[in-house]
Amino acid sequence: MGRPSAGKHTSPARVVLAIFMLILGFALVADFLWASSSKFTSSYLNVATNWSPHTSVILPINPQKGETVEVKNEKKDVVPKRVLPATFQDLPAPELKWEKMAAAPVPRLDGAAIQIKNLLYVFAGYGTIDFVHSHVDIYNFTDNTWGGRFDMPKEMAHSHLGMVTDGRYIYVVTGQYGPQCRGPTARTFVLDTETKKWQDMPPLPVPRYAPATQLWRGRLHVMGGSGENRHTPALEHWSLAVKDGKPLEKEWRNEIPIPRGGPHRACVVVDDRLLVIGGQEGDFMAKPGSPIFKCSRRNEVVYDDVYMLDDEMKWKNLPPMPKPDSHIEFAWVLVNNSIVIVGGTTEKHPTTKKMVLVGEIFQFNLDTLKWSVIGKLPYRVKTTLAGYWDGWLYFTSGQRDKGPADPAPKKVIGEMWRTKLKLNP
Ligand SMILES: *[C@@H]1O[C@H](CO)[C@@H](O)[C@H](O)[C@H]1NC(C)=O
Ligand SMILES: *[C@@H]1O[C@H](CO)[C@@H](O)[C@H](O)[C@H]1NC(C)=O
């Protein structure tokens, strides 16, 4: 298998890229200024419904080109629309046959999931913006039923957790404690899935919101995420030696910081390398002074970056995703040396500024280091929880779009779906 190299050549392509990045930088600053000047105080879960259905401000999508074209919308009338850059559009993807399975006992958003053999353990999450779950539900892929509900420790975070398993023990790191846009806790736990018993682990040095978390070379690694205000990207990276559900050390060790911080990324260990995929900088924050920590919207930048650590212990870049993708921390599976990622969110809509959900399935083939788009979901969905069993790709939970014509988030779901997974060579 080819190892990616991080060679340092200066080619004409790189110079062009640098100039492009500079222009992009200006565009982002302009975009940020625009976003900060408008009102983004809608609540976290109801953003889509609180927005005006009509666009009151038209921004040039692509000032260099200023294109407009005629596009047929869902209502079959012809309206002039600007061409959107590819990142905001659904990418061309094969249609898949989806089968609707039994829905989870509760809908959940920003929960967590861990698959161990034929069981998918589904944790925590918002039920509504003012109510968070504090229990685990289990889906059995053999008979396709839900069951086995049990409680989480009272002190455990309810959303935006870091979570990973060694095949029996599930390590649960930090995350947001409570509903709305409360801050994170540093508390950390381990679950023995055979006895359903929880134990305490040493807390993180400081609380983190939705950090990337994995087990690698006998250590529990936690990196990135947001700081305590939920918004400021954090670069820190810590690790703790663990074995069979027990910490072997009393304190977390500092590791090489991640080049780009932020929450909601997929983190995968494969072939003795650690990968961190997608994610974003910024997130909703509590409105200053709000006694209920009411969520208020802040600027977010979603990215397509893929970072890798190998035995050199230096971060390297791998080929980026087909489009920026965030809210994918538990939306991936690893099958036949490919990482498969289900849905997510991409950059906000350039005109309406609404959050745009992702309706595609991506494959990252680790033999060829090539990304491809391998299918369409039944709808666009973020923070969905994915599993793979016996040829079937499953997903459940998260927040889906308003409909085929509107990629903004709406309903929090508990639905479970599956399709036969077909990978590209
Ligand atoms: C999962 O379902 C299979 C088939 O019904 C059953 O044999 C197995 O005991 C179930 N596992 C759990 C943990 O419930
Ligand atoms: C994975 O590889 C096995 C062995 O080559 C093959 O039988 C199976 O169909 C592959 N699975 C997928 C989803 O491609």
E strands in 119-209: 119-123, 126-128, 131-132, 135-140, 145-151, 162-165, 169-176, 184-192, 197-201
Chain mean position to CA 281: 12
Range 110-114 average pLDDT = 98
CA 145 to ligand 1 center in whole angstroms: 9
pLDDT of residue 30: 39
Q: How far apart are CA 29 and CA 47, in angstroms?
A: 23
Q: Which of 315, 361, 305 is nearest to 335 (CA)?
A: 361
Which atom belonging to ligand 2 lies closest to the Cα atom of 423?
14
pLDDT of residue 63: 32
Residue 418 contacts residue 394 (beta carbons within 8 Å): yes
**Closest ligand to the CA of 143:** 1
Least reliable range by pLDDT among 26-30, 123-127, 197-201, 306-310? 26-30
The single residue listed with the structure tokens 């898949």 is: 96
- The two tokens of residue 262 are 């932020």
**pLDDT, tens digit, 9 for 90 and up, residues 195-205:** 999 999 999 99
Which atom belonging to ligand 1 lies closest to the Cα atom of 119?
13
pLDDT at 8 over 90: no
Which atom belonging to ligand 1 lies closest to the Cα atom of 140?
1
pLDDT of residue 353: 87
**Protein residue closest via CA to atom 12 of ligand 1:** 140
**Closest ligand to the CA of 117:** 1
Range 407-419 average pLDDT = 97
CA 119 to ligand 1 center in whole angstroms: 9
- Rounded to the nearest 10°, the torsion over CA 309, 312, 313, 318 is -30
Give the pLDDT band (50/70/90) at residue 279: very high
CA 329 to ligand 2 center in whole angstroms: 24
pLDDT of residue 32: 39
Range 93-122 average pLDDT = 98
Which atom belonging to ligand 2 lies closest to the Cα atom of 391?
13
Chain mean position to CA 255: 23
Which atom belonging to ligand 2 lies closest to the Cα atom of 336?
1
CA 379 to ligand 1 center in whole angstroms: 30
The single residue listed with the structure tokens 């650690």 is: 274
Chain mean position to CA 372: 18
pLDDT at 36 over 60: no
Q: Which of 27, 57, 24 is nearest to 39 (CA)?
A: 57
- Which protein residues are within 6 Å of ligand 1, measured from CB? 119, 140, 142-143
Range 328-340 average pLDDT = 98
pLDDT at 275 over 60: yes
Q: Which residue has the higher pLDDT, 39 or 140?
A: 140
Would you call 360 helix, strand, or coil by DSSP? Answer: strand
For all residues of the chain together, what is the average pLDDT?
86
| DSSP-assigned states of every residue in 22-49 | HHHHHHHHHHHHHHHHS-----TTTHHH
pLDDT of residue 205: 98
pLDDT of residue 84: 58
**Protein residue closest via CA to atom 1 of ligand 2:** 336
**Closest ligand to the CA of 139:** 1
pLDDT of residue 12: 57
The structure's pTM equals 0.83
Range 400-404 average pLDDT = 95
**pLDDT, tens digit, 9 for 90 and up, residues 341-394:** 999 999 998 888 899 999 999 999 999 999 999 999 999 999 999 999 999 999
pLDDT of residue 352: 85
Range 12-39 average pLDDT = 48
**Closest ligand to the CA of 337:** 2
pLDDT of residue 82: 54
Contacts (Cβ under 8 Å, ≥6 apart) of 26: none
Q: Which of 262, 159, 276, 278 is nearest to 211 (CA)?
A: 262
Give the pLDDT band (50/70/90) at residue 100: very high
Mutate to test the pocket of ligand 1, among 142, 144, 194, 389 (most ligand atoms within 8 A of CB): 142
pLDDT of residue 351: 84
**pLDDT, tens digit, 9 for 90 and up, residues 120-165:** 999 999 999 999 999 999 999 999 999 999 999 999 999 999 999 9
**Protein residue closest via CA to atom 10 of ligand 2:** 336
Angle at 343 between CA 340 and CA 344, to 5 degrees: 115
**What is the percentage of the chain residues whose pLDDT exceeds 70?**
79
pLDDT at 79 over 80: no
E strands in 178-314: 184-192, 197-201, 212-216, 219-223, 237-243, 246-247, 253-254, 266-270, 273-277, 280-281, 285-286, 295-296, 301-302, 306-309
- The two tokens of residue 208 are 């983190």
**What is the percentage of the chain residues whose pLDDT exceeds 90?**
78
pLDDT of residue 44: 60
**pLDDT, tens digit, 9 for 90 and up, residues 41-65:** 334 654 433 333 333 323 333 333 3
pLDDT of residue 425: 94
pLDDT at 40 over 70: no
Least reliable range by pLDDT among 157-161, 178-182, 313-317, 351-355? 351-355
